[in-house]
Amino acid sequence: MISSPPDGSNGSEKASSLCPRCHVHLKGHFLEDAPVEFCPKCGGMWISREDFTRSIKRTPPPDLPEEEPPDAEKPIWAESPLACPRCGGNMAKAVYDYSSGIKVDRCDRCRGIWLDRGELGRLRAYTQRKIPEEQLLMARLQAETVKRRLEAKYFAQESRSWWGGLSLRALVERLRDLIGLQSRGR
């Protein structure tokens, strides 16, 4: 999966960045066809966002462990931000695709991604998984609900302009007052 650069060097000349976890010099390697900076001590790697997006769509390794890493339950805000090995900026920790439970570190400045050992394999397994039919149905229903709420909000905003800036509730109250006045006058 991870290989040395095609020029035959060991990769240490290509990357002079330090690992954000263990502060060891990263080594330049290739992950399939994507250049990465790999930590020989902790197994973490830095990868560009574009290469990351392509890489996670590939088939996961067959020997992927099923268990989560020991810090999987640690809340995101309880962790200190890592320094980006490429530009030195703080990396933000985020859960990939909301429901995956896989936390990745991303740099907003240079858009690079830091993956701890095993995260790429878990991300690949997540993107390749078969989604149960009931989850697909639930997602479609949730999307339809959001769509209808947005349409209702838009309609309410448009309606206010038609009714002189009145909300629907204010318009109904005025209509009730008007109907009440007419019935009393008779």
For residue range 139-176, list pLDDT tens digits in order. Answer: 889 989 998 888 888 777 766 566 666 677 777 888 88
Whole-number pLDDT of residue 166: 67
Q: What pLDDT score was predicted for residue 25? A: 92
> Distances from the Cα of 121 to the Cαs of 34, 82, 94, in angstroms?
15, 21, 17
Residue-level pLDDT at 185? 52
Mean per-residue pLDDT, 125-135: 81
The more confident residue out of 83 and 163 is 83
68 has pLDDT over 50: no
- Going by pLDDT thresholds of 50, 70 and 90, the confidence category of residue 22 is confident
d(CA 69, CA 19): 19
